[in-house]
Amino acid sequence: MVDSLLPTDDPREVLRRLCDERGVDFAGLSRLIGRNSAYIQQFIRRGTPRRLPEQERRILARHFGIPERLLGGEGGRTLVDGLVPVPLLDLRVSAGPGSVPEAEESDARIAFDPAWLRRLTGASAEELGLLQVEGDSMAPTLLPGDDILVDRSDGPERLRDGLYVLRIEDLLLVKRLTLHPVSRRVTVQSDNPAYADWPDLSLEDIVVIGRVIWTGRRVA
């Protein structure tokens, strides 16, 4: 049972045991987190990705009713010299044709002032992530090389018009979403008029990762 799983256990072995004990198949678990059907099997048997992204760890931990640390999460947010460490995600989010994510989290953190973060969001540091933009489809709002801060607690349950990081099939994108209030369907838009929009999509066609709440840009 779960009580036998130690915090030092390999997260892959923990997940494999949970699936065996509860009769959960890998494909169904992959769909639960919005991935292709082979994703969990590849994580457990091939070690890809090296580490589960925080959002997916959180979903799986809630699904199984276990602490997130058993799946590789940290014990909780810690302050270093009064600053809040926010994870730097090891991928680039496309503002162009689309990027295929591989490893979605590194061990790197960037520290922020907690009062400054509170002005932006009430989310915990574990629910935030920093990514870098590729492509120019969101220009002039976002340019290649911009850093964006994504609130992963602000997802489909609170969906409203704005900039979001989302997944369509295996492509990770940053786009502007416009929600149709009656039909609850969405239009996925590029701010750059040279790129086509995706109008009138069902929410089932996309996986919303989180809302973009801040962007930083290098000044040449």
Query: Is 77 within a domain?
Result: no
Separation CA 59–CA 117 (nearest Å): 24
117 and 210 belong to one structural domain: yes
Could you read off the pLDDT of 95-115 as tens digits, one per residue?
555 444 444 555 567 888 888
Q: Is the pLDDT of residue 213 over 90?
A: yes
Q: Is the pLDDT of residue 200 over 50?
A: yes
pLDDT value for 197: 92
Query: Is 76 within a domain?
Result: no
Please, which residues bridge with residue 172 across strands? 99, 167
User: Higher-confidence residue: 52 or 69?
Assistant: 52
pLDDT value for 72: 81
Percent of the chain at pLDDT exceeding 70: 83
116 and 206 belong to one structural domain: yes
Residue range(s) defining the domain that contains residue 36 = 2-71
Mean pLDDT of 64-73: 81
170 and 193 belong to one structural domain: yes
9 and 63 belong to one structural domain: yes
pLDDT value for 211: 94
26 and 96 belong to one structural domain: no
* pTM, to two decimals: 0.61
pLDDT value for 212: 96
Could you read off the pLDDT of 125-164 as tens digits, one per residue?
778 889 889 899 999 999 999 999 999 888 888 889 999 9
State the alpha helices, DSSP H only, in 97-195: 114-120
pLDDT value for 102: 45
Q: Provide the number of structural domains found in the chain.
A: 2
Strands 147-151 and 207-216: what pairing? Answer: antiparallel
Angle at which helices 11-22 and 39-46 pack, to 10 degrees? 130
119 and 185 belong to one structural domain: yes
Separation CA 63–CA 59 (nearest Å): 6
Could you read off the pLDDT of 74-84 as tens digits, one per residue?
644 444 557 78
Mean pLDDT of 207-214: 92
pLDDT value for 175: 95
Among 43, 71, 99, give the residue marking a domain's end: 71
Mean pLDDT of 26-48: 90
